[in-house]
Structure 1
Amino acid sequence: MALMVTLCAVWGLNQVAAKVANAGISPLLQAGLRSAGAAVLVGAWSAWRGVPLFAKDGTLAPGLLAGLMFAAEFGLIFKGLDFTTAARGVVFLYTAPFVVAIGMHVLVPAERLNRIQTGGLVAAFLGIVAAFGEALTLPADRQWIGDAMLLAAALLWGATTLVVRISPLGRAKAEKTLFYQLAVSAILLPVASVALGEQGLTDPTAMAWVSLAWQIAGVAFASYLAWFWLITRYPATRLSAFSFLTPLFGVLFGTVLLDEPFTWPLAAGLVLVGLGIRLVNTRT
């Protein structure tokens, strides 16, 4: 639980870092560079620890599938935000834990949710809605396109977690699981950046490079490695419930670092998310 809260804080801070780096590095290219740099770090870490990344263990097919979904997820997120607001987008994106909960409920009987745990997921999602309620607006022209893309990204995020959990990847080392996703996305995301006509590097500042370095080492390498270690050892449904904290941490860091307002709806959201996590981790 302590590690998951820490990871959510890191992922929340990543939203601020990505926003800073966007000033000089196009979003999809930035995501691709992040994956490439983190893939190098994972490779070096694995070599140091003696973890074989290329041994035949039956993980190639699910690993490539997870990598494709990982790349598509980030492509949809960054492109979808061109059409819809960030507040609307985050609400749709954080429906991913429901995908995990429903999938694990169907596929793994041992991880089926009871009524109290289901109520916890609902409470946590209502917390997200409350926290971002003031920023939500009526759909504008073409806004539904962005909403649909963010919802599709949430489905991919949840599906990736399920693939890792129920396939041979669930028995593989966390380093190998992460390397598949980083390597595939490091190839596909820059290609997508060029295909979509992004400007690429547009005179990035020193702070933009620092933000990218933090995303590579702190987020895509260290935090994702810890995440994949966790989901091979603990119930995926309960872990996914903690992911509701990530956008709230994002708002908190935005308040402190970017002088964005802290409101009562956000406070209500924090209470509901805390209640939801408590209920999801209740066995009876």
Structure 2
Amino acid sequence: MTATSRQPNRPTALPRDSAPAATGPATTAPATTGRTSAAVWGALSIVYVVWGSTYLAIRIAVETMPPFLSAAARFITAGLILAGLVAWRQGPSALKVTPRQLASAGLVGLMLLLGGNGMVVLAEQDVPSGLAALVIAVVPLWLVLLRLGFGQRTSGATLVGVLLGLLGLGVLTVPGLNGDVELVGLLLVIIGTLSWAGGSFLTSRLPMPKNVFATSAYEMIIGGLGCLAVAAIKGEPQALDLAAISTRSWLALAALIVFGSLVAFTAYAWLLHNAPLPLVATYAYVNPVVAVLLGWLILAEPLSWPIVLGGAIVVAAVCLVVRTEK
């Protein structure tokens, strides 16, 4: 998650004089001009392709790296780089936030990156990357249920989509249907989806920093520090053996930092402030397809009938929800 900005194209190309900003809770997209449309679709394309490949990169990274230490290294490094870019291109004042804004960004960062991505990283030590991606596809369904819980109306077709998605999730997680995949690992992924959905839901309802790039940086740094704290509790630093970490795990971590965090996470957070949430949620049925194909092609992950059937049901359900909610 997979997983999280605010720029139309790439997070490294920051405007010198101004930045996309969210002055308050964002509930709708900007006016649909040609430029805005191109920006939104450009950011969506990044999230579609890059986040689809991060499940594979996570799986490779945790082959020889401690899970929470790898996540901490990923997000703290990416957050510090992004903060440096913001200060360089827009001046140090762009990083100024109120205590309340910092607390909001910290809470969302912990929910997205520690609770969401952290659970996925931990689970992918045992769960195939493609299967994890299919389970994570239910995030938009949790978002619908959260909206219902806060009194927002939705259509009957959307509710049918949610029920259909839960059926697909059941097929994916029934014990014994997916070979030797442990149920505990799948439950960790589900917990991660709930945390990610909650963080995404709160983003437009909390007083976030006005500079959306700075928000991403704070979210990644604080989320990464949360992962580091959990790693310390688990004793990962004491057990770390750098010589035992493979070259491909290092390369996977580098890809996660540059592409999965700096590029895709930043694009996702920007979309949350500048595009309708149902449109942003379309990444959830593109990412799994990319992830399953990459896992099958590169890691020879099996494509069992429960994965194909359950995955197809989940993707169809998410498509229905997104289409009806648009």
Distance in 2 between residues matched to 1:10 and 1:175, nearest whole Å: 19
Structure 2 length-normalised TM: 0.70
Instruction: Look up the match of 1:40.
Output: 80
2:200 to 141, 144, 161: 161
Residues 266 and 6 of structure 1, relative CA distance in 2, 3 Å threshold: farther
Question: Does 1:232 pair with 2:270?
Answer: no
Contact 2:75 2:224 in 1 (8 A): yes
The answer for unaligned runs of 5 or more in structure 2 is: 1-39
- The residue number in structure 2 matching 1:218 is 259
Q: CA deviation at 1:263?
A: 5.7
1:66 paired residue among 101, 108, 117:
108
- Compute the displacement of 1:74 (Å): 3.4
Q: Secondary structure at the match of 1:259?
A: coil
2: CA distance, partners of 1:80 / 1:18? 10
Q: Structure 2 vs 1, CA of residues 283 and 14 (structure 1 numbering), >3 Å: closer, same or farther?
A: closer
Per-residue deviation, residues 204-261 of structure 1 (Å, max 9, x unmatched): 2332222111100101111011001111122324423531432332111112222334
Mapped pair 1:56 → 2:98? yes
Match of 2:212 among 143, 151, 174: 174
Structure 2 distance, partners of 1:283, 1:77, is 27
Alpha carbons of structure 1 residues 276 and 67: separation in structure 2 relative to 1, 3 Å: closer
Output the TM-score relative to the length of structure 1.
0.79
Q: Which residue of 2 aligns with 1:277?
A: 319
How many residues in Structure 1 have an aligned counterpart in Structure 2?
278
SS of the residue 2:274 aligns to: coil
For the residue of structure 1 that corresponds to 2:204, the secondary structure is helix
Structure 1 residues 183 and 161: alpha-carbon distance in aligned structure 2, compared to 1, 3 A threshold: same
The CA RMSD measured in Å over matched residues stands at: 3.5
- Residue 253 (structure 1) aligned with residue 291 (structure 2): no
What is the 5 A alignment of 1:185-204? Answer: 185-198=223-236, 199-200=239-240, 201-204=242-245
In 1: Cα distance, 2:142 partner to 2:316 partner? 20
Shift of 1:157: 0.9
**Range that drifts further, 220-229 or 238-247:** 238-247
Change (3 A) 1:191 1:164: same
Alignment of structure 1 residues 85-124 onto 2, 5 Å: 85-86=127-128, 93-107=136-150, 109=152, 112-123=153-164
Given that 1:125 and 1:273 are in contact with CA atoms closer than 8 Å, whether structure 2 keeps it comes out as no
Contact 2:135/2:169 (8 A) holds in 1: no
Partner Cα separation in structure 1 for residue 89 and residue 166 of structure 2? 39
The answer to whether structure 1 residue 24 and structure 2 residue 64 are counterparts is yes
Instruction: Give the conservation status (yes or no) of the 8 Å contact 1:124–1:241.
Output: no
Bigger mean CA offset, 126-135 vs 227-236: 126-135
Looking at secondary structure, tell me which structure has more helix per residue. Answer: 1
- State the 1:195 CA deviation: 1.8
Q: Which moved more, 1:73-82 or 1:194-203?
A: 73-82
Pick the aligned partner of 2:52 from 1, 7, 12: 12
Task: Name stretches of at least 5 consecutive residues in structure 1 with no aligned partner.
Answer: none
Relative to structure 1, the CA distance from residue 133 to residue 215 in structure 2 (aligned partners, 3 Å threshold; closer, same or farther) is same
C-alpha deviation, 1:121, in angstroms: 4.2
Q: Cα distance 1:184–1:254, how it changes in 2: closer, same or farther (>3 A)?
A: same
